[in-house]
Amino acid sequence: MTVLKDLRPVYVVGVGMHRYQFASDTNYIHMGLTALRAALADAGLEFPQIESAFVGCTGIGMAAGRIMFNHIGSTGLAVTQCENASASGSSAFQLACLEVAAGRREVSLALGVDKYGDQVRAINKEGVGRLSDTAAIPLVRYALLAEYLKKEKGLQPEDLAMVAAKNHTNGSKNPFAQFQKARSVQDILAAKPVMGDFTSPMCTPRGEGAAAAIVCSAAALKDLGLTGEPIRVLSSTLQSERPQVGREMGSVAVARAVAEKTYEEAGITAQDLDIVELHDAFAIEELLYVETFGLCPTGEGHFWIRSGAAEINGEVAVNPSGGLLAQGHPLGPTGIGQVHEIVHQLRGTAGPRQHRGATTGMAHMIGLGSISIAHVLRKET
Amino acid sequence: MKLEKPDLCAPGAGHGTHGPRLVLKAGLCAACGQVHFPKTEFGCPRCGAAPDRVALHALDGAARLLAFATIHTRLSPLITPPCVVGEAEVAPGIVEEVMLVGDEMLYADGMALRAVGIPVARGDRQLMAIRFEPAEDAA
Ligand SMILES: [Zn+2]
């Protein structure tokens, strides 16, 4: 199998965002073009120089990207709509990288834009009943997993709150975050109860927003005189879930498999990572994934997070953007918003969120169903 | 009273504490010999065998509770919080999310459960929904 690193080098050269926010009457085209124009300015490119675009979107409807691009000049670029649930933006990014790596294009765009839509889901058309009326609600599965882990490894509600407090505090320094208020462990514990030990700030909010990342080849870097500092994409890996074995949820098992594969493809180990943006739709996930990604020994995720290792300027900055919990999770843009954060961290332009000496980062998302996707990015010196 | 989810269950023998006992409609695959739940019209999800290789296989509605928690907010229009949801092993190796009768104080991890029918209001109709209750007479 050919992997990204065997092909032409791919670089992220421009990133931009529209702030994630609660559902509003903001037109999606306004949000998408805001992110796109910011990414173009960051790269030092004009829109006609973009040869292809992959648009991650779940809730707006057919041809969202094509309609949007009409308003920035119909250049004839190749446009592909990309829906992969919560990982739509991540998949759009992967496809844009592959186009450039394969030599099909020199400059490609991944853009995620979403509104909180009507939540039409294939699972509701499956025609297969479930015993529980909550079986299609991810929150319920993760809250039950947290209950199990509480007894299995002595997890405390404070451990969940610590993840949420860290990510909300990171989000308070991020102008694009949906939540920009620092919160303490006590604030999180005292918030509205949702299920079991979960309170509302331990769960990702619903929202809308946009994020864009422009990727290009080494030739384009040279020929187009790009101004954005390039960040190399070393790997991008996607797999879907297998049937659950024992107590480990299929989505957790596939997250582990994808991390191991993407490290191998990138030629790195977990110890090389300085920045990890991961799928913390629920705080319990971060406690699990820091173990499954090998950032700390198995069974020690909560001790590792309690030690401050996952904070900015700790061992590895985990979700320095605020993650899905605080930066937000508008679905289509989420995976590209992660790339936005990692690129700024690796360039050293993350401002008050800057993690010292960051050179390597990983973005990880899960899409309903579920699929897991991860990319490794590195600053080349 | 009609069953809310007749694809998943059927009336069983006898009564539980909160309602009549129910059996669950699983599938038994002739190609791979494995049981899956629920049986569907699509075939075997384990090995991919076509629907005609899958036979209806009744599970007795006995289950073992693995984890549970109380839902405090209305996550779905179909539920009325507070309500208790858990994960239970309904057959060896088959773990399903289940809705539990009553308060979480009634439950403990590892507890034996059984499926019973409980009336629920759905629009202007009363239907018999699948819930699980402690099976104190079970091992
Ligand atoms: Zn089979």
pTM (2 d.p.) = 0.96
pLDDT at A122: 86
Chain B CB contacts of A128 under 8 Å are 7, 38, 40, 42
Stretch (H or E) spanning A295 = none
Q: How far is residue A284's CA from residue B5's CA, in Å, rounded to a whole number?
A: 32
Summarised one tens digit per residue, pLDDT across range A162-199 is: 999 999 999 999 999 999 999 999 999 999 999 999 99
Residue A74's SS3 state is coil
Q: How far is residue A295's CA from residue A261's CA, in Å, rounded to a whole number?
A: 15
pLDDT at A129 over 70: yes
Tell me whether A218 touches chain B (CB under 8 Å).
no
Name the minimum distance, in Å, from the CA of A185 to any CA of chain B.
20
In 3D, which of A90, A66, A99 has the Cα closest to residue A216? A99
Give percent of chain A with pLDDT exceeding 70: 100
Q: What confidence category does residue A293 fall into, taking pLDDT thresholds of 50, 70 and 90?
A: very high
Chain B CB contacts of A148 under 8 Å are 66-67, 87
pLDDT at B139: 42
Chain B CB contacts of A253 under 8 Å are none
Q: How far is residue A377's CA from residue A361's CA, in Å, rounded to a whole number?
A: 5
Tell me whether A135 touches chain B (CB under 8 Å).
yes
Q: Ligand 1 center to residue A245 CA distance, Å?
A: 17
Q: Provide the edge-to-edge strand list for the sheet that holds A52-56.
A: A78-82, A52-56, A107-114, A208-217, A10-21, A231-240, A371-378, A360-367, A275-277, A317-318
Please work out, in degrees rounded to the nearest 5, the angle formed at the alpha carbon of residue B67 by the alpha carbons of B66 and B68: 140
- Domain extents in chain B: 9-138
pLDDT at B45 over 70: yes
Q: How far is residue B99's CA from residue B69's CA, in Å, rounded to a whole number?
A: 10
Please work out, in degrees rounded to the nearest 5, the angle formed at the alpha carbon of residue A20 by the alpha carbons of A125 and A204: 55
Q: What confidence category does residue A74 fall into, taking pLDDT thresholds of 50, 70 and 90?
A: confident
Q: How far is residue A87's CA from residue B26's CA, in Å, rounded to a whole number?
A: 32
Name the minimum distance, in Å, from the CA of B40 to any CA of chain A.
7
Q: Are B15 and B28 in contact (CB under 8 A)?
A: no
Summarised one tens digit per residue, pLDDT across range A208-256 is: 999 999 999 999 999 998 888 999 999 999 999 987 777 778 888 999 9
Query: Does A193 sit within 8 Å of B73, measured CB to CB?
Result: yes
pLDDT at B138 over 60: no
| CA pseudo-torsion sign A230, A259, B94, B43 | positive
Chain B CB contacts of A135 under 8 Å are 96-97
Name the minimum distance, in Å, from the CA of B99 to any CA of chain A.
5
Instruction: State the complex-level ipTM.
Output: 0.96
Q: What confidence category does residue B137 fall into, taking pLDDT thresholds of 50, 70 and 90?
A: low
Distance of CA A55 to the CA centre of its chain: 15
Task: Please name the residues in contact with A237: beta carbons below 8 A apart, sequence gap of 6 or more.
Answer: A258, A261, A262, A265, A373, A374, A375
- Least CA distance to B86: which residue of chain A? A144
CATH superfamily of A4-117+205-378: Thiolase/Chalcone synthase (3.40.47.10)
pLDDT at A238: 97
Q: Give the nearest partner residue to B75 out of A140, A146, A148, using CB atoms.
A: A140
Task: Please name the residues in contact with A293: beta carbons below 8 A apart, sequence gap of 6 or more.
Answer: A255, A256, A259, A270, A273, A276, A278, A362, A364
Q: How far is residue A285's CA from residue A23's CA, in Å, rounded to a whole number?
A: 25
Q: Are A257 and A342 in contact (CB under 8 A)?
A: no
Q: How far is residue A44's CA from residue A46's CA, in Å, rounded to a whole number?
A: 7
Q: How far is residue A277's CA from residue A112's CA, in Å, rounded to a whole number?
A: 17
Q: Give the nearest partner residue to A133 out of B67, B76, B109, using CB atoms.
A: B76
Chain B CB contacts of A247 under 8 Å are 66
Strands A208-217 and A107-114, bridge-based pairing? antiparallel
Name the minimum distance, in Å, from the CA of B59 to any CA of chain A.
13
Q: Give the nearest partner residue to A144 out of B7, B40, B87, using CB atoms.
A: B87
Please work out, in degrees rounded to the nearest 5, the angle formed at the alpha carbon of residue A324 by the alpha carbons of A322 and A330: 125
Q: Give the nearest partner residue to B99 out of A128, A132, A143, using CB atoms.
A: A132
Rounded to 5 degrees, φ, ψ at A170 are -60, -45
